[in-house]
Structure 1
Amino acid sequence: MHIAVFSQYHTNPDCPATSRHYALLAYIARTHRVTLITTTAWAGQRLSQEFAWVPAGVELRTVDVPYRNSMGTARRALAFAHYAAGAVREGLRIDKPDVIWGISTPLTAAWAAAQVARWRRVPWVFEVQDLWPSFPIAMGAVPTAWARRRLFALEHRLYQSAAHIVPLSPDMTRYVAGTGTDIAKITTVLNGTDLDLATCATPAAVAALRREHGLEGKRVVLYAGTFGRANDIPTLIAAAELLAAQRPDVVWLFLGHGYYEPLVRAAARCPAIRLVGGQPRHAVFSWFALADVSVVSFLDLPVLDANSPAKLYDSLAVATPVVVTNQGWTKRLVEEHGCGWFVPAGQPQQLAQQLTNLLSAVNTASLLAAGERGAALARQEFDRQSLAKRMQHILENATAC
């Protein structure tokens, strides 16, 4: 079977990104022909050279579209349109696929997949990574009512034309079903994590990292991920400053890059706050294993409660419990499985107090037990090899629609 994949942002484990599709494509390409239509946007951001740019067996077609998180709304929209046009062109040039896999974000990438599927008369599968257009609208990136109506109409048409829809969280699935889409053609496939890469976080590797960064004898809180507008970074910095005043033995590490990087850099003048910067995918697990607890934070917006953040899965994979600020499914998950805690978004005092409690000597055993429960859950539910098998079945079954 020939599968054409439309994804504007391809990354590999050498990049400071989640690289979800690298693992999924590697699995599927063992038994099927895969053509990936993407951009060159991340190719220059590799931090190491340990992995091939695409997995073995994946044919690569690229559209030259620059993209950076620092771009404004207009330049992002232009990049989205540029990729969509180039992807349609490439999709009509390749050998006819049996099924097309369109990955949003942005919604325009899914639109391109749908257009090629229509012209080539083949089914397509719509993977919903974030709720577009609800997310950019909530962030104020779509200022006119006319544009909002057009985007919601496009979203609805894409749901209707797709043979199957794959949201990345249960709350996303509920959202899609709430648009009137037949629940029978919706399957949740979680973001998940790379358990094979998590084995890189050996005790020796973690101890070496601790020595290298002068963290011996310190308790560590970790935020790892994008310093984006949606991630409530100012609240984390305020909590870190409060924690530094209460617990001089605690260091808060900020691992990543993005919009709020200058703010994090300024806060790092405090010795208890450190900016680590982006790390390649294969190295991030040792940082999670180094931490006593990690924080997964977003703004208090309902649309963000549906997110399926990679940092949640990565932390649990190495037995590091998490504090989440979403009020949606991640709150239910960590509380039900006893592998984390919830603190409302935008509440630095509550966050600092919760972390102070968790890092107290009396709670050491509870913290370790929560981490072990998280690791067991990750092995059972979050392995991307299992998720890739599920995705492959969805693509295979779509050809019968």
Structure 2
Amino acid sequence: MHIAVFSQYHTNPDCPATSRHYSLLAHLARTHRITLITTRTWERQRLTQQFPWLPEGVEMRAAEVPYENRMGVARRGLAFGQYAAYAVQEGLRIDKPDVIWGISTPLTAAWAAARVARWRKVPWVFEVQDLWPSFPIAMGAIPNRWAQRRLFALEKSLYRSAQHIMALSPDMTRYVETVLGAPSAEAPLALPSKVTTVLNGTDLDLATSATDVALEALRREQGLEGRRIVLYAGTLGRANDIPTLLAAAELLATQVPNLTWLFLGLGFDEPRVREAAARCSAIRLVLPQPRHAVFSWFRLAEVSVVSFLGMSVLDTNSPAKFYDSLAVGTPVIVTNNGWTRDLVETYGCGWYSPPSDAAALSALLAKLLAAPAQLEAAGKAGREVAISAFDREQMAVSVQKILEQAC
């Protein structure tokens, strides 16, 4: 079977980003022909050279379209449009695929996949990684009401035209089902067969690199012997509520001796983190790490924090850092009042703290850091959940089945 994959951002484990699709493509390429239509955005950002850029058996068509988190709205829109135009062009040039797999974000990548699928008369599968346009609208990036209505109409039409939809969290699945509404002549399939939750997941094989030896070496290299470590790892973006974390870190530093709160990543709020680190010795900014190395940083921490602003659209998120932390037995504090809160409370592998409440987060962390046995028990529970439910090898089997059935 020939699968054409429309994904604007391809990464591999040498990159400072989740490599979800690298793992999925590696599995699919064992039995199917794969053509990946992407950009070279991340290829120049590789921090190491330990992995091939493409999994064996994957053919790539890549556009030169720059993109970074600090871009403004207009520049981002241009990048999205440039990739969509390139993807349509290449999608019509490649050998006819049996199925097309369109991955958003952004929504324009899925639009390109749908357009080529229609013209080439083949089915397509829509993977929803974030809720677009709900997310950029909630963040104020698209204030024009006419543009909002047009984007919501496009979103619904893409859901209806897809043969199947994969959503990265249960809350995303419920959202998509709500948008789809009742079956129609255009979308006659019953909802349970139209939408499937396929979690973001984690790479358990890479997590095994976080050994005791690697952990101690990292602690020595970073001068963290005897320190109590809290970790935020990921994009320092507008949606991640970084100012609240910095305020909580400064409060916590007055309560917990030998505290170091690591902020691992780059993004819009990087200057704010640097300023906080300059005035508070308990705060440290760590430059992004390659995917294969990040697990040792998670294991180094006693607890990690996965934070977002208090918006319902963000409660649906399926962030890689959530899974990665649990994979190495580090419990998680979440500020999403959605499915991640339900999961950590159900399985006892983490805690919920209200979004944008630095005092509450600081108080919770102080309480937990004074109870190491509780942290250890939660970490063990998280590791068990990760092994049973978050393995990307399991996700790959589900994705392959969906793509094959779409044909």
1:330 aligned residue: 340
Instruction: Report if aligned partners of 1:130, 1:307 keep a CA contact under 8 Å in 2.
Output: yes
Deviations 1:98-119 (A, max 9, x none): 0000000000000000001001
**Conserved 8 A contact 1:248-1:272:** no
Verify the 8 A CA contact 1:102 1:126 in the aligned structure 2. Answer: yes
1:357 paired residue among 334, 349, 367: 367
Name the counterpart of 1:36. 36
Letter in 1 for 2:315: D
For residue 50 of structure 2, what is the aligned residue in structure 1?
50
**Kept in 2: contact 1:129–1:168 (CA 8 A):** yes
Answer yes or no: is the 8 Å Cα contact 2:235–2:266 preserved in 1: yes
Q: Deviations over 1:307-356 (max 9, x none)?
A: 00100000000000000000000000000000000000000001001000
Aligned-pair distance for 1:249? Answer: 1.5
**Of the candidates 275, 284, 287, which is equivalent to residue 266 of structure 1?**
275
The one-letter amino acid of 1:281's match is: R
Q: Secondary structure at the match of 1:302?
A: coil
Quote how far apart the aligned CAs of 1:143 are.
Answer: 1.2
Q: Indicate the residue corresponding to 2:219 in structure 1.
A: 210
What residue in structure 1 maps to residue 180 of structure 2?
Answer: 180
Contact in 1 for aligned 2:160/2:180 (Cα 8 Å): no
Q: Which runs of 5+ in 2 are unaligned?
A: 182-190
Inter-partner Cα distance in structure 2 for 1:142 and 1:75:
13
Structure 1: how far apart are the matches of 2:268 and 2:294?
A: 20
Q: Distance in 2 between matches of 1:63 and 1:86?
A: 7
Question: Structure 1 CA distance, aligned partners of 2:96 and 2:66?
Answer: 28
C-alpha RMSD of matched pairs (Å): 0.6
Asked if residue 279 in structure 1 is aligned to residue 289 in structure 2, the reply is: yes
Aligned partner of 2:198 in structure 1 is 189
Structure 1 residue 184: Cα displacement: 2.2
* Superposition map of 1:303-322 within 5 A: 303-322=313-332
Return the alpha-carbon distance in structure 2 between the equivalents of residues 91 and 180 of structure 1: 26
Residue 310 of structure 2 corresponds to residue 300 of structure 1: yes
Instruction: Tell me whether 1:373 sits opposite 2:402 in the alignment.
Output: no
CA distance in 1, matches of 2:196, 2:180: 15
Deviation digits for residues 202-236 of structure 1 (CA, Å, limit 9, x no counterpart): 00000000111111111100000000000000000
- 2:250 aligns with 241
Partner of 2:235: 226
Equivalences for 1:36-185 in 2 at 5 Å?
36-181=36-181, 182-185=191-194
Q: Post-superposition shift, 1:89?
A: 0.2
- Residue 180 of structure 1, CA deviation: 2.6
Name the stretch that deviates more: 85-94 or 267-276.
267-276
Q: What residue number does 1:341 align with?
A: 351
Q: Deviations over 1:103-139 (max 9, x none)?
A: 0000000000000100110000000000000000000
Give the alignment's TM-score, normalised by structure 1: 0.98
Residue aligning to 2:187: none
Residue 245 (structure 1) shift: 1.2
Once the 2 structures are TM-superposed, how far is the Cα of residue 63 of structure 1 from its aligned partner? 1.3
- Residue 398 of structure 1, CA deviation: 0.3
Q: Distance in 2 between matches of 1:245 and 1:359?
A: 13
d(CA) in 1 for partners of 2:4 and 2:180?
27
* Structure 2 Cα separation of the partners of residues 250 and 140 of structure 1: 36
Q: Deviations over 1:21-45 (max 9, x none)?
A: 0000001100000000000111111
> 1:104–1:128: 8 Å Cα contact kept in structure 2?
yes
3-state SS, counterpart of residue 268 of structure 1: helix
Q: Tell me the residue number matched to 1:8.
A: 8
SS of residue paired to 1:102: strand
Q: Once superposed, which parts of structure 1, at least 4 consecutive aligned residues long, lie more than 2 Å away?
A: 180-184
- In the superposition, the TM-score normalised over structure 2's length comes to 0.97
Q: How far does the alpha carbon of each residue in 1:241-280 deviate from its partner, in whole angstroms, 9 at most, with x for none?
A: 0011111211100001100000001111221110011000
* Residues 308 and 335, structure 2, Cα contact 8 Å, conserved in 1: yes
Structure 1: which amino acid aligns with 2:378? A
2:107, 2:230 → 1: CA distance?
A: 35
Cα distance in 2, alignment partners of residues 213 and 319 from structure 1: 21
Q: Which residue of 1 aligns with 2:209?
A: 200
Between the aligned partners of 2:341 and 2:275, the Cα distance in structure 1 is: 31
Q: In 2, are the aligned partners of 1:298 and 1:325 still within 8 Å (CA)?
A: yes
User: 2: distance between equivalents of 1:372 and 1:296?
Assistant: 18
**Deviations, residues 132-178 of structure 1 (Å, cap 9, x unaligned):** 00000000000100100000000010000000000000000000001
Shift of 1:183: 3.5
Matched residues in 2 for 1:139 and 1:219: separation?
Answer: 34
